């Protein structure tokens, strides 16, 4: 009787060990995939971590630069108001508060590289679905896009 119990215990111990080993192997194999998923999930939780795709990889913002704001406002009026208003949804989204919902890099990449953004970036793809018209490349220089970003910073 005792021997039987010991045997049963042994069998359980061995089989559960085997089970654990298998699980560990499964867990370790796709580490890269898991990391990718986590990065994606984080970007979903905090869109400010999503820099988008394009030439702008890192921007440090300082205090509002009023002369840059004025320049950005002119560019916005000339090149963007065909589709955007600040306070109202039009052909594209209302841009009020855009600097609160997207990172500065994302905004500049959306201005400079919309063709790729609406294909490769999750947030931009979702916007395209919602607005059905694609955001147009207005061929701004990086400096011009930076000025428009400064203007948007005053529209929260």
Among residues 48 and 65, whose Cβ is nearest to ligand HEC? 48
- Rounded to a whole number of angstroms, the minimum distance from the CB of residue 25 to ligand HEC is 43
Rounded to whole angstroms, the Cα distance separating 122 from 150 reads: 24
- Rounded to a whole number of angstroms, the minimum distance from the CB of residue 72 to ligand HEC is 9
Among residues 32 and 139, whose Cβ is nearest to ligand HEC? 139
Residue ranges binding ligand HEC (CB under 6 A): 79-80, 82-84, 91-93, 95, 98, 102, 107, 110-111, 118, 127-128, 131, 133-136, 138, 140, 148
- Rounded to a whole number of angstroms, the minimum distance from the CB of residue 43 to ligand HEC is 14
- Rounded to a whole number of angstroms, the minimum distance from the CB of residue 61 to ligand HEC is 15
Q: Are 102 and 110 in contact (CB under 8 A)?
A: yes
Please state the length of the chain: 156
Among residues 65 and 140, whose Cβ is nearest to ligand HEC? 140
Closest by alpha carbon to 108, among 60, 66, 70?
A: 60
Among residues 36 and 88, whose Cβ is nearest to ligand HEC? 88
Rounded to whole angstroms, the Cα distance separating 149 from 110 reads: 11
Rounded to whole angstroms, the Cα distance separating 155 from 97 reads: 6
Among residues 36 and 125, whose Cβ is nearest to ligand HEC? 125
Rounded to whole angstroms, the Cα distance separating 92 from 138 reads: 14
- Rounded to a whole number of angstroms, the minimum distance from the CB of residue 89 to ligand HEC is 9
């Amino acid at each position: 009787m005792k021997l039987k119990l010991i045997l049963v215990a042994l069998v359980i111990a061995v089989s559960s060990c085997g089970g654990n080993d298998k699980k560990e192997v499964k867990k370790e194999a796709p580490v890269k995939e898991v990391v990718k998923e986590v990065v994606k999930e984080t970007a979903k939780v905090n869109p400010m971590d999503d820099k988008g795709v394009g030439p702008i990889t890192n921007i440090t913002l300082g205090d509002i630069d009023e002369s840059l704001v004025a320049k950005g406002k002119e560019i916005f009026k000339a090149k963007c108001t065909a589709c955007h208003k600040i306070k109202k949804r039009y052909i594209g989204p209302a841009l009020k508060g855009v600097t609160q919902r997207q990172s500065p890099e994302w905004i500049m990449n959306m201005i400079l590289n919309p063709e790729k953004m609406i294909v490769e970036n999750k947030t931009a793809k979702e916007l395209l679905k919602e607005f059905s018209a694609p955001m147009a490349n207005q061929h701004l220089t990086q400096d011009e896009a930076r000025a428009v970003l400064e203007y948007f910073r005053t529209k929260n």
